[in-house]
Amino acid sequence: MDLKDLETELARLLAGRWEEWQREKRIEFEVHSLSETDALGAVVERVLENGTVISLLGTLGAGKTRFVQAVSSAAGVPEDEVTSPTFVLIQEYVSGKRPIFHFDAYRLKDDDEFLELGPEEYFDGGGLTFIEWADRVESCLPRDYVQIRISQTGAESRLFEFRRLRK
């Protein structure tokens, strides 16, 4: 599958009514370099509508932050603005063509600590919301969300798995 086919597939996954596709539906795409991650980020930026919440999963160093950088950069946010929100917990990038909200749940003690950040306001904030380690605050996610799992398959290779989930 090339990037163009991926874009079509992702758009179909995101646009279809929930009932029209299976919970098991998953789209896989492997990149082999940082520049391919950037190209993938541009495709994802095009297909995701404002108001989408994206759960980013993958081990330390898998590339979650780097992927948010790729998507944000496609939206016009300068790359150096996008850094790991591990210590500040939430970052907002508003200098691009749409706001991007970037959470990292890695260091959160519990759901309450996440809820104190007021995530609902970001979810409905007219942009994209990315949450690294979102499985740690799963009960706080909206009913519908997109999950992207990143696995390292080589020095610069990464496998991306896309799912649309409903709780």
Ligand X SMILES: Nc1ncnc2c1ncn2[C@@H]1O[C@H](COP(=O)(O)OP(=O)(O)OP(=O)(O)O)[C@@H](O)[C@H]1O
- Site residues (CB under 6 A) for ligand X? 31, 33-34, 37, 58, 60-66, 84, 132, 156, 158
What's the CA gap between 16 and 31, in Å, rounded? 26
Taking the complex as a whole, how short is the minimal distance between the CB of residue 19 and ligand X, in angstroms? 33
DSSP-assigned states of every residue in 17-35 = -GGGS-TT--EEEEE-SHH
What's the CA gap between 37 and 123, in Å, rounded? 24
**CA-only gyration radius of the chain, Å:** 15
- Name the DSSP class of 87: T
**Amino acid identity, position 126:** G
Nearer to Mg ion, 55 or 65 (CB): 65
Taking the complex as a whole, how short is the minimal distance between the CB of residue 67 and Mg ion, in angstroms? 9
Taking the complex as a whole, how short is the minimal distance between the CB of residue 143 and Mg ion, in angstroms? 25
Q: Can residue 64 be called a binding residue for Mg ion (CB under 5 A)?
A: yes
**Amino acid identity, position 112:** D
Nearer to ligand X, 23 or 107 (CB): 107
Residue 41 contact among ligand X, Mg ion, none, beta carbon within 5 to 8 Å by kind: none
Tell me which residues touch Mg ion (CB under 5 A): 64-65, 84, 132
